[in-house]
Amino acid sequence: MLREDISVLLSQVSSL
């Protein structure tokens, strides 16, 4: 699993 991708997704969701 790519933690980097997950981190980016979480960051985008947080922005929302």
User: Is residue 6 predicted with pLDDT exceeding 80?
Assistant: yes
**Gap between the Cα atoms of 16 and 14, Å rounded:** 5
**Gap between the Cα atoms of 1 and 9, Å rounded:** 13
**Gap between the Cα atoms of 1 and 13, Å rounded:** 19
User: Is residue 1 predicted with pLDDT exceeding 80?
Assistant: no
pTM of this prediction exceeds 0.85: no
Mean pLDDT for 1-13 is: 91
Residue type, 8: V
